[in-house]
Amino acid sequence: MDHDSADNSEAPKPKLPQQGSEPDMPSQELAADDIDPATVTAEDEDEARLPEPSEEPHEAVAEGPLAVGHAAIEQAMRLAPTSPGVYRMLNAAHDVLYVGKAKNVRKRLASYARANAIQPARILRMIAATVTVEIVSTPTETEALLLEANLIKQLRPRFNVQLRDDKSFPYILITGDHWAPQILKHRGAQTRPGQYFGPFASAGAVNRTITALQRAFLVRSCTDSFFESRTRPCLLYQIRRCSGPCTSEIDFSGYTELVREAKDFLSGRSRLVKQELAAEMEKASAELEFETAALYRDRLAALSAIQSQQGINPRTVEEADVFAIHQEGGYSCVEVFFFRTGQNWGNRAYFPRAEKSYTPEEVLASFLAQFYDDKPPPKLILLSHHLEEAELLADALSIKAGFKVEVTTPRRGEKKELIAHALTNAREALGRKLADTATQGRLLQSLVTTLGLPHPPKRIEVYDNSHIQGTNAVGAMIVAGPDGFIKNQYRKFNIKSEGLTPGDDYAMMREVLQRRFKRLVSPAPEGDAGKAKSDDESFPQWPDLVIIDGGRGQLNAVKEIFEALGLTQVSLLAVAKGPDRDAGRETLFMPGKEALKLEPRDPVLYFIQRLRDEAHRFVIGSHRKLRKKDIREAGLQEIPGIGPARKRALLHHFGTLKEIERASVADLGKVPGVSAESARKIFEFFHAQPR
């Protein structure tokens, strides 16, 4: 099990990897755990690992690095406390190999220091790489558990179980700082006044729920500035997704009642809310107010739609997180379901990085501690496997949450059914993962045959750039490997070169590649080593294949850059679009080879197209964000022919710059003082297509 938080008073603090940085240059030899165990061959493992004799491994390498590691741990053990604490094993480069916690640190280190003990191969490799051990004492074992989890998430030690996908969860917020509360999706710190409901498993689940809640309760979703500027109801009022409080289509007391109903529904009192709406519908129908009755009917249907989308909704579980783990093919999948206010608020599958030798219980225990490191726990946590330290984990989470948290493995009843349902989803998610991995492996092998590569690429980098007539130029890199796209290693590059000719794609690509590969070729300055590390040290930092969007000219330009940097081991591929930019008619260019055209339905061509399209999607998105930021900062005066008077008229009519951007040419032409030609210019300014 694993957890943490560093003590500044300790000896040299390990260098922490920083999010959003570019990878650093790897060493020439990869340790065994630098390779995903599910994707290596037996030959790869033999080359990457330390020798592991079958009889008595501890004696076979007694004179080698294993003996050095045992000596280092034994030296640390003599000075270790007999109280709770967290220990960190470091290699010669001062990289953290493993973080662990113990009730008695000296006793735990003694179990590693015994040279005559039979240990798993994973432990032997860790000991052999260890040159020093750092220890942080804690008052209690509970604090050691929390500290351990925190350190693992910060340091990403090679030999620990690692939670790789750790994005924040979205919430629904009903604001409390305006007389007409707004409903919106929220991520991050909960600092704005209001009532938060969640977490939801995905942004899609939140968006669907908000849309249905708007239909059911007619609560506004517009911003306060847009609300204040309205002189007539917006489109959402016309399609019955808002009650129109901005223009007093509903009075204060009526809107307050709608907000109360929405909060009641999200708080778990859905049955009562539906009963009230049904009673109002019957009353309106009896009084022959059929339009009003139809409105209540539509609201009831919207509530039913929310609950039908949520799938299983437990009767006896009010608030709980359900965790189920399934292992197969060297992978682990942890499926998490969120239940709040008796409703299912979605599920998500995680694939933590862990060696094959870890048991489901070990993976799940470490996963849970890291999962709740920055998230509030619920009152009940249901697990598919019993954990020896479940009581310790419950105590730690209770201290963190400020209320009692129960961690249990149910054996019967509805809770057991929830676990079974989560296990089924974990099994299916892992099956899809393995199938995708197998398909990806076949595609990479086909890529070798088609392009004549020396071996299947473990890391593919694809580059593209985007701009509009040279403005807001941005380059981007996407990364793919045996497991598909590695999105936490995507990078964008704002083009900074001064004197760059607008629209000079060669110069833009040159800047992007030089900035990317100089960081790999040149070691990071001392004290700054963490800035160039990969987000996931098990994944190569150097690409085997670089793909660029372009023809022979772009390829030659990139080849010159690589030759200047001394890069000879990276394969290059340029993908030129077909006539009329038709997909399926691309031409492939590689240095020293004839141009290649593949059959339109060739799977390798589909694969290359998918890589190129993902890079294009990412760079276009980055460009649009940059351009919108400039538009917000510059305002409407950047549009030719739009002076202060027209600017005021547009803002008065639409309320915000965002609504002006959304408007059609016809809507823009309705603004007083805006001619048809001006409306066209405004529309084209906001909707110009980047290349």
Q: Which of 626, 655, 679 finishes a domain?
A: 626
Most confident of 192-206, 267-281, 525-539: 192-206
Q: Helix-strand-coil percent breakdown of the chain, rounded to 5?
A: 45, 15, 40
Cα–Cα dist 64/578, whole Å? 58
Same domain, 618 and 644: no
| Domain limits for position 403 | 320-431
Same domain, 512 and 586: yes
In sequence order, the β-bridge partners of residue 497 are none
Position with higher pLDDT, 519 vs 413: 413
| Dihedral over Cα of 499, 502, 504, 505: its sign | positive
**Tens of pLDDT along 73-116?**
888 998 899 999 999 999 988 889 999 999 999 999 998 887 77
Cα–Cα dist 566/570, whole Å? 10
Closest CA to 330 of 3, 534, 30, 41: 41
In the chain the first and final C-alpha atoms are separated, in Å, by 49
Q: Would 328 be classed as within a structural domain?
A: yes
Say yes or no to pLDDT of 548 above 80.
yes
Q: Would 12 be classed as within a structural domain?
A: no
**What CATH number has the domain bearing residue 100?**
3.40.1440.10
Cα–Cα dist 627/625, whole Å? 5
**Tens of pLDDT along 375-407?**
888 889 999 999 988 999 999 999 888 889 999
Banded model confidence at residue 510, pLDDT cuts 50, 70, 90: confident
Say yes or no to pLDDT of 188 above 70.
yes
Say yes or no to pLDDT of 482 above 90.
no
Same domain, 88 and 182: no
Q: Which of 383, 411, 431 finishes a domain?
A: 431
Q: Which of 282, 309, 336 finishes a domain?
A: 309
**What CATH number has the domain bearing residue 666?**
1.10.150.20
Same domain, 327 and 303: no
Number of domains within the chain: 5
What lies within 8 Å, CB to CB, of 246 at 6+ separation is 180, 220, 222, 227, 228, 230, 233, 234
Same domain, 566 and 645: no
Same domain, 353 and 287: no
Same domain, 119 and 91: yes
Specify the pLDDT at position 88: 93
Closest CA to 409 of 498, 325, 314, 309: 325
Same domain, 490 and 621: yes
Specify the pLDDT at position 375: 81
**Tens of pLDDT along 281-321?**
887 777 777 777 777 777 777 666 655 555 566 667 878 89
Q: Would 26 be classed as within a structural domain?
A: no
**Tens of pLDDT along 147-169?**
998 898 888 898 988 887 666 78
The H or E element containing residue 58 is helix 57-60
Cα–Cα dist 434/314, whole Å? 31
Say yes or no to pLDDT of 506 above 60.
yes
Specify the pLDDT at position 406: 92
Same domain, 276 and 422: no
Say yes or no to pLDDT of 130 above 70.
yes
Banded model confidence at residue 518, pLDDT cuts 50, 70, 90: confident
Q: Would 18 be classed as within a structural domain?
A: no
Q: Would 15 be classed as within a structural domain?
A: no
Q: Would 511 be classed as within a structural domain?
A: yes
User: Which segments of 176-275 are extended strands (E)?
Assistant: 183-186, 194-197
Say yes or no to pLDDT of 61 above 80.
no
Residue 619, CB-side half-sphere exposure with 13 Å CA sphere: 32
Q: DSSP readout, 84-117?
A: -EEEEEE-TT--EEEEEEESSHHHHHHHHH-TTS
Same domain, 470 and 588: yes
**What CATH number has the domain bearing residue 357?**
3.30.420.10
Same domain, 480 and 592: yes
Same domain, 41 and 132: yes
Token pair belonging to 49: 């690992």
Banded model confidence at residue 633, pLDDT cuts 50, 70, 90: very low
Specify the pLDDT at position 271: 66
Specify the pLDDT at position 683: 78
Cα–Cα dist 335/322, whole Å? 8
Banded model confidence at residue 24, pLDDT cuts 50, 70, 90: very low
Q: Would 519 be classed as within a structural domain?
A: yes
Q: Would 400 be classed as within a structural domain?
A: yes
